[in-house]
């Protein structure tokens, strides 16, 4: 059996042949990379997942990830798995190691209209939206999220001009423009209704509106992109922790940080229309959208990044039914 998702055939059973002209939906375990100047297959507004580990920056285009489901890679901080579910618009990076054992993932099946991937080492199956093993020897174990930023090629290249870019495998690059356009369209205006297989439908938001999900302990908040494009800078508390959320509307880049620095809790406001620059109200220091103080009493201070989970609302809400929903007027739904 096979399933068509965003123009890519998912092979539900191993050994199934791809239809003529389609590429196999298989994970990448030996990725190759090119320099930024060589990444001619990318447009400025193409969406990607960016990872920065010490002095190494890597970009994983969403339109390529959507053709594989998972990419196994290694960065200075250790092994990672870069994942993307095209059905629920979810891009996440996990530490690909459990109890000192490296794991390699491959598409297995769909549960709740979200991909489930099986690791080759133990045969455990992992829900991509939550990072939890739902069956197998490691059932109940959760993978650790690795810091990533969902952004555009232009924004990532501006921040990391020496970034490396995942090189598409032969035959896959030709399909990237069409897939990239669909991903961008779905992020701006999600298709109507939940896809087949969704577990529940929470009607507080359209099923396929993109949200940035944030979970601290048992507290979860969904920040809809439509609201973030208005608010741009959000001061919130999640799980008792003061949180700063910054959204740059031009690229839909959303970042989040622990808003505490030097023993005090800070509150922020946009200093520019695009929220590329912020000011904290307590010290009037100037910050960029990535949690770094550039000027003022706190110059050089870096806020701790909080990992966000961008995905369609139906995917976030079905696995976190008690989530709160942020609105630009701070009136929860």
Residue 12's pLDDT is 35
Provide the 3-class DSSP secondary structure of residue 172: coil
In degrees and rounded to multiples of 5, residue 248 shows phi and psi of: -100, 105
> Does residue 6 belong to any structural domain of this protein?
yes
**CB 217, CB 239: distance < 8 Å:** yes
Residue 14's pLDDT is 34
Residue 89's pLDDT is 94
> Does residue 107 belong to any structural domain of this protein?
yes
> Does residue 304 belong to any structural domain of this protein?
yes
> Does residue 119 belong to any structural domain of this protein?
yes
What DSSP state is assigned to residue 113? Answer: T
Query: Both 24 and 101 in a single domain?
Result: yes
Residue 1's pLDDT is 38
Task: Transcribe 261-293 into DSSP letters.
Answer: ETTEE--EEESSTTSSEEEETTT--EEETTSBE
Calculate mean pLDDT across residues 312-318.
96
Please report, for the domain that includes residue 38, its CATH number. Answer: 2.102.10.10
Strand 293-295: give its sheet, edge to edge: 268-270, 277-280, 286-288, 293-295
Q: Which residues span the domain enclosing 306?
A: 210-325
Q: Is the pLDDT of residue 15 over 70?
A: no
Query: Both 225 and 295 in a single domain?
Result: yes
Q: Is the pLDDT of residue 37 over 70?
A: yes
Average pLDDT of the chain is 92
Listed residue (204, 211, 221, 234) closest to 323, CA to CA = 221
The confidence band for 330, taking pLDDT boundaries of 50, 70 and 90, is low
Query: Both 33 and 181 in a single domain?
Result: yes
Residue 192's pLDDT is 86
Look-up of token digits 């032969």: 170
Query: Both 41 and 113 in a single domain?
Result: yes
In degrees and rounded to multiples of 5, residue 65 shows phi and psi of: -60, -35
Calculate mean pLDDT across residues 39-55.
97
| Percent of the chain's residues with pLDDT above 70 | 92
> Does residue 86 belong to any structural domain of this protein?
yes
In the chain the first and final C-alpha atoms are separated, in Å, by 40
How many structural domains does the chain have? 2
Per-residue pLDDT tens digits for 160-215: 999 999 999 999 999 999 999 999 999 998 888 899 999 889 999 999 999 999 99
Look-up of token digits 């979810």: 90
Give the Cα separation of 24 and 288 in Å (integer).
41
* Alpha helices in the chain, H assignment, sequence order: 62-65, 153-159, 176-188, 225-231, 313-319
Residue that finishes a domain, picked among 185, 218, 242: 185
Listed residue (258, 274, 260, 267) closest to 308, CA to CA = 258
Give the Cα separation of 22 and 7 in Å (integer).
9
What DSSP state is assigned to residue 44? Answer: T
The confidence band for 7, taking pLDDT boundaries of 50, 70 and 90, is very low
Query: Both 62 and 169 in a single domain?
Result: yes
Residues β-bridged to residue 211: 224, 311
Query: Both 242 and 160 in a single domain?
Result: no
Q: Is the pLDDT of residue 118 over 70?
A: yes
Token digits of residue 37: 């100047």
Look-up of token digits 């069409």: 178
pTM: 0.92
Least confident span in 181-190, 286-295, 306-315? 181-190
Q: Is the pLDDT of residue 298 over 80?
A: yes
Query: Both 250 and 178 in a single domain?
Result: no
Query: Both 180 and 229 in a single domain?
Result: no
Query: Both 108 and 232 in a single domain?
Result: no
Calculate mean pLDDT across residues 72-97.
97
Per-residue pLDDT tens digits for 163-177: 999 999 999 999 999
Query: Both 152 and 265 in a single domain?
Result: no
Calculate mean pLDDT across residues 84-92.
96
Q: Are strands 105-111 and 114-119 parallel, antiparallel or unpaired?
A: antiparallel
Residue 200's pLDDT is 86
Give the Cα separation of 265 and 302 in Å (integer).
14
> Does residue 333 belong to any structural domain of this protein?
no
Residue that finishes a domain, picked among 150, 185, 220: 185
Residue 13's pLDDT is 33
> Does residue 13 belong to any structural domain of this protein?
yes
Least confident span in 19-23, 33-37, 51-55, 104-108? 19-23
Query: Both 252 and 150 in a single domain?
Result: no
């Amino acid at each position: 059996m096979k399933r068509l998702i965003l123009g890519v055939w998912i092979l539900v059973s191993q050994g199934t042949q791809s239809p003529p002209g389609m590429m196999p939906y298989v994970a990448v375990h030996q990725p190759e990379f090119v320099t930024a100047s060589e990444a001619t297959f990318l447009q400025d507004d193409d969406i990607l997942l960016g990872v920065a580990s010490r002095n190494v920056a890597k970009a994983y285009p969403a339109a390529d990830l959507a053709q594989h489901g998972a990419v196994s890679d290694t960065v200075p901080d250790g092994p990672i798995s870069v994942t993307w579910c095209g059905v629920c618009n979810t891009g996440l990076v996990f530490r690909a190691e459990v109890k000192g054992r490296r794991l390699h993932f491959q598409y297995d099946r769909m549960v709740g209209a979200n991909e489930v991937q099986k690791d080759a080492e133990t045969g455990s199956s992992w829900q991509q939206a939550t990072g939890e093993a739902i069956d197998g020897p490691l059932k109940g174990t959760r993978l650790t999220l690795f810091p990533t930023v969902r952004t555009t090629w232009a924004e990532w290249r501006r921040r990391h001009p020496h970034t490396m870019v995942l090189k598409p495998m032969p035959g896959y690059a030709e399909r990237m423009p069409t897939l990239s356009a669909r991903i961008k369209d779905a992020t701006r205006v999600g298709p109507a209704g939940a896809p087949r297989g969704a577990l529940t439908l929470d009607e507080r938001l359209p099923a396929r509106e993109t949200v940035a999900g944030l979970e601290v302990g048992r507290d979860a908040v969904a920040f809809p992109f439509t609201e973030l494009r208005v608010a741009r800078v959000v001061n919130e508390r999640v799980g008792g922790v003061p949180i700063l959320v910054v959204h740059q509307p031009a690229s839909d880049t959303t970042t989040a940080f622990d808003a505490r620095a030097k023993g005090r809790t800070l509150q922020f406001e946009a200093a520019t229309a695009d929220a590329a620059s912020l000011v904290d109200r307590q010290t009037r220091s100037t910050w960029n959208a990535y949690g770094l103080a550039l000027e003022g009493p706190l110059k050089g201070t870096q806020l701790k990044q909080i990992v966000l989970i961008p995905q369609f609302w139906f995917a976030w809400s079905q696995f976190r039914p008690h989530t709160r929903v942020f609105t630009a007027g701070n009136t929860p739904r």
